[in-house]
Structure 1
């Protein structure tokens, strides 16, 4: 349920076997006419060992509980069949119905990802399958007109009591809990994950995990990270497991994905079906109308053992008081041994706007004795006033250190904002000294400017030039697009100040202008200047075009009297 990337909240040794048995039992019970049978399954959990702390990269949900009901065996119909003689709609029809606003959010998220990350091939049915398992489609579509849930949909407090331990990261802003984090909203993101994975899906300027449009788009981007292509089975499984790290979860989501692919229809908001089973104890999500700190779930109270009236002595008749069992000390993980992060020979990080950085960030995890540590998850986070991203469009990436203890961050892609920004490397699941890197985005430049035509540019006094000046900009032989430029009519090659005589451009009011600022090459590296006009002065004049980076091109403009008027016009027969 919850959307934070971490380990399983509960782990039972027989989880996979239970899941297989449940699927088998489901198949046996759903022969034709077996309406009314229990179509769900519930993960059995036994006495749980101490649950390790969750990390913000464990999974999208913090491995919170999820609904385990499986779809009916009969395929969904494309539209709900009407009831007749009091006969209810078939189970397949009811289960295939998705609340209208929720369905719209899934489809809009798919459309945006198709444009921004076409290589991901995200189907909206996958969002629907996850939304079904995580929150039963926003609790049956209980959303307002803007897509925000009516009341909060909360997972249990991740307090380490049968669940992972995730202490409060949002000061209760999203989950109302100032002590521990809880999975929030229709796609069940925990706040620490939402802080970097959240998206604004409905264009209201906010990123709200309780809004189905925001949550669906965030889930889509989350599933599309790491360059995954969801049309490939391996990538699809990896993406789903990154949402909740459980084979049972994967099997359940895949079942609903296949089911929704066979056909769905919209139903009015608030009329969706209600599941019956959850992976932890079968209870439903908590609906919270306002911030609260929900109490921890505790077992039924048992009478406390009464101490002996007197302490027992060796050889005496008193019965010693029972001692509580000492929990086993968990084995030390590689992450536990990390003392700090060190730079791994990262070169200077500089790229031109719109271009990829040629150098990549390398970070080494080390012990206190400066020994490298392998198999440690390192999170790289971009911050600052920048639109730079990692390859794939994300601002956060997690990489596991190799045998030399080095994590190599994905390549950085510069945006259009120039200046410095920061990339911070931290250890996932451990608070130790991280590493900061400064990257710089410079403006786009050109190193070559050429005219696209060799036609002389001539004009008569008081007239207009027949041809417009067009130039092409390149950088290292490639098209130099979006490069800033200026154009100025100059006095001479030595005196580049603005000439107040000769050819000129016109402003919007028709007045002469001899300097144009704010020009920019197009996607093909072309720059086409406005029409040029001539005053009464004759002679050869110079137009200087300068691009960002200092590259210039000087173009000659000639203004001369038209001497053809003194010559007799050719007779019609001469041109025939």
Structure 2
């Protein structure tokens, strides 16, 4: 089925209306672009809106296909907001009567749980992907056209829809032809896929885009918290900036590849931006018009079988022609399109130098163009593609080659796989091996100032500081070790001389778990000296083998000699006799005594 034919079947055009001049002027001044009004006061999109964004097609690999849009380009609600500005008027429905179909100020009300899910998704995306600038009103606009805000907020307290919300069977009969990809796990259909849940994800997209938005350990497309967060990540997966017209358009078109869809979502986005309010769950208004022409099969209708007009019995009913063979149908196998990318290596935090590319071929080895190839990161790793996602899709060129976005290593080291598969066809996958090594440095430079000298028993006045580089570039977050070694040839930790202190103040002569900062700089803790004088060596090493030895000098303390004691004076104030004079006097006295005794 050609894309033009599929588009004409899937997308319902804008309602033909007569527009009053004043209404047109008002819309031009205050409403979304490319919008007019019908006779009942409902807004409807025009045919002059931007065409399908080629960037969106290239980014998602959807092209004219459907397998990699969020919804598989399933039908959607085409009802548009009223012209009057929203205000927090009571809903026209009630908890007893359930949601009602209608327009008016009550359209601005969003069921409490559904609104909470949108706002929490916005907060989460603001933290994980701040450059996306995703407004919760965009999620509300998409939720409105996909499921009427989960069928008017018909959800349990944890956000799970009370009854399943299923789109029509995507069997190619008026819709896309998507064979079963989940064995009926999400949509209950083991033959064909169907869009599922309040944000209408097809199972093949949910398999990689699903998120756990309510932290219950599950990724359930029927839960508005999970589905809203998944929709946000899906819209932000290529780092499109929702604050710009081009980014917003690319994201919306990647969700459902239709200009009318884009216009409808934009109308609700502008409406919600002007004001909305919370209403009780189960009391929201429901849309009534679908993009599925006269088939009455509604995206998010909740019916298990789309209703169709009664066809009169014919004697010889016409035979439904078999769908034409697509390029995807001819693919027999995948090949690596670049020998250099069969095995990739990158340092933690760095981008892999080569992009992964795969070639789709027929059984005879002929290249097949315009085929979507999905690349999935498999294994225990935090490596991602550009945009922070673990899955990316690209379309093959005229040579049958699809190129994955740039692959960036995370902080987890080790080996993982990147698996290439063909979207919409079961062929043997092709695996690429990728390895993440630890951050490393190949050179260290001493950036400290001043001599590293101290007197024994003192504290060094200067702290040791170094800068790490790898191939002359800053080496950030590199692991390092510092050891006070015995000598240049003996890296055993010294048991005397300078030392660091641990948290308890005890001497430590080996420091591990050090890491350079974002600028490759590392400053060591203060050093102290014991009572051993001499020259000592501090050896610093990093992952990757960079080494620097710093010389430390400890000098012996200076000993000042004690001076001779000063002679003391007698009590009378005269100096005491010298030792020699005293001795002489004593000798004379002895001789005099001896002489007297002799006589």
Equivalents in 2 of 1:400, 1:243: separation in Å? 17
The C-alpha deviation readout for 1:140-194, integer Å capped at 9, x for no partner, is 2233444333343332343455443444433444334455433222211122211
Partner of 1:45: none
The equivalent of 1:330 in structure 2 is 323
2:515 maps to 1:515: no
Instruction: Tell me the residue number matched to 1:416.
Output: 411
Pair 1:432-2:444 in alignment: no
Q: Per-residue displacement from partner, 1:431-465 (whole Å, max 9, x unpaired)? A: 22332211111110012212221322233333332
Q: Deviations over 1:65-111 (max 9, x none)?
A: 3222111111223x43799xxxx9x9543111222332233233233
Judged with a 3 Å threshold, the aligned counterparts in structure 2 of structure 1 residues 152 and 467 are, in CA distance, closer, same or farther, namely farther
Contact 1:9–1:64 (8 Å) recurs in 2: no
**For the structure 1 residues 111 and 346, does the alpha-carbon distance in structure 2 shift closer, same or farther, using more than 3 Å as the test?**
farther
Separation in 1, partners of 2:19, 2:485? 84
Number of residue pairs the alignment of both structures matches: 521
- 2:253 corresponding residue in structure 1: 241
> Secondary structure in 1 aligned to 2:17?
helix
Query: Within 5 Å, which residues of 2 pair with 1:259-274?
Result: 259-274=271-286
Residue 279 of structure 1, CA deviation:
2.9
* Deviation of the 1:553 alpha carbon: 1.0
Of 477, 481, 490 in structure 2, the residue corresponding to residue 482 of structure 1 is: 477
The correspondence for 2:155, drawn from 108, 132, 143, is 143
1:152 alignment partner, SS class = coil
Aligned to 2:528: 533
- Alignment partner, residue 72 of structure 1: 82
Q: Is the 1:199–1:207 Cα contact (8 Å) retained in structure 2? A: yes
CA distance in 2, matches of 1:463, 1:187: 69
Partner of 1:116: 128
> Where in structure 2 are the equivalents of 1:221-240 lying within 5 Å?
221-240=233-252
1:414 Cα shift?
Answer: 0.6
Match of 1:394 in 2: 389
Residue 340 of structure 1 pairs with residue 333 of structure 2: yes
CA distance in structure 1 between the aligned counterparts of 2:138 and 2:177, rounded to whole angstroms: 28
Alignment of 1:15-34 (within 5 A): 19-20=13-14, 22=15, 24=17
Distance 1:510 1:10, change over 3 A: farther
Question: Taking structure 1 as reference, are residues 192 and 450 closer, same or farther at Cα in structure 2, changes over 3 Å only?
Answer: same
Moved more, 506-515 or 324-333: 324-333
Distance 1:404 1:184, change over 3 A: same
Once residues 365 and 376 of structure 2 are traced to their aligned partners in structure 1, the CA distance between those partners, rounded to angstroms, is 24
Long gaps (5+) in structure 2: 27-36, 46-63, 93-99, 564-599
Q: Secondary structure at the match of 1:153?
A: coil
The 1-side partners of 2:268 and 2:562 are apart by 87
Alignment check: 8 A CA contact 1:182 1:190 kept: yes
Distance (whole Å) between structure 1 residues aligned to residue 9 and residue 302 of structure 2? 31
Aligned partner (choices 436, 439, 444) of residue 444 of structure 1: 439
Superposition CA RMSD, Å: 3.6
| Residues 8 and 194 of structure 1, relative CA distance in 2, 3 Å threshold | farther
Q: Which moved more, 1:537-546 or 1:175-184?
A: 175-184
Q: Which residue of 1 aligns with 2:459?
A: 464
| Cα pair 1:486 1:547 within 8 Å, conserved | yes
**What TM-score comes out, normalization by structure 2 length?**
0.77
Q: Report the 3-state secondary structure (helix = DSSP H, G, I; strand = E; otherwise coil) of the residue aligned with 1:474.
A: strand
**Is the 1:423–1:439 contact (alpha carbons within 8 Å) kept by the matching residues of 2?**
yes
CA contact (8 A) 2:41 2:82 kept: no
Given that residues 42 and 81 in structure 2 are in contact (C-alpha distance below 8 angstroms), is that contact kept between their aligned partners in structure 1?
yes
Alignment map for 1:218-367 (pairs within 5 Å) = 218-280=230-292, 281=296, 285=300, 294=304, 324-347=317-340, 348-367=343-362
Mean CA deviation greater in 557-566 or 246-255: 557-566
Give the counterpart of 2:448 among 446, 453, 458: 453
SS class of match (2:487): coil
Tell me by how many angstroms 1:9 deviates.
13
**Do 2:328 and 2:424's aligned partners in 1 also have CA atoms closer than 8 Å?**
yes
- Counterpart of 1:556? 551
| 1:438 partner SS | strand
**Aligned residue in 1 for 2:589:** none
Structure 2 SS opposite 1:98: strand
Q: Which residue of 2 aligns with 1:104?
A: 116
CA distance in 1 between partners of 2:397 and 2:38 (Å): 53
CA distance in 2, matches of 1:98, 1:490: 69
Is 1:130 the equivalent of 2:139?
no
Could you say if the C-alpha distance between residues 249 and 438 of structure 1 is closer, same or farther in structure 2, counting changes exceeding 3 Å?
A: same
Distance 1:475 1:511 in 2: 35
Q: Which residue of 2 aligns with 1:62?
A: 72
Pair 1:378-2:373 in alignment: yes
SS class of match (1:496): strand
Larger Rg: 2
Query: How many angstroms apart in 2 are the aligned matches of 1:454 and 1:230?
Result: 49
With over 3 angstroms needed to count, the CA separation of the structure-2 counterparts of 1:243 and 1:283, relative to structure 1, is closer
Q: Does 1:189 align with 2:182?
A: no
- From the superposition, tell whether residues 203 and 559 of structure 1 become closer, same or farther in structure 2 (CA, over 3 Å): farther
CA distance in 2, matches of 1:565, 1:529: 35
TM-superposed CA distance for 1:343, in Å, is: 1.5
Contact 1:19 1:41 in 2 (8 A): no
- SS of corresponding position for 1:559: strand
Distance (whole Å) between structure 1 residues aligned to residue 90 and residue 560 of structure 2: 86
Contact 2:66 2:73 (C-alpha < 8 Å) held by counterparts: no
Structure 2 vs 1, CA of residues 341 and 567 (structure 1 numbering), >3 Å: closer, same or farther?
farther
Q: How far off its partner does 1:422 sit?
A: 0.8
Cα offset, 1:136, TM superposition: 1.4
The reply on whether 1:94 has 2:106 as its aligned counterpart is: yes
8 Å contact kept, 2:74–2:299 = no
Shift of 1:352: 0.6
Kindly provide the CA deviation profile for residues 459-501 of structure 1, in whole angstroms up to 9, marking residues without a partner as x.
Answer: 3333332332222212223221111111111101101111122
231 and 538 in structure 1: CA distance in 2 versus 1, 3 angstrom threshold: same
| Distance change >3 Å, CA 548–CA 26, structure 1 → 2 | farther
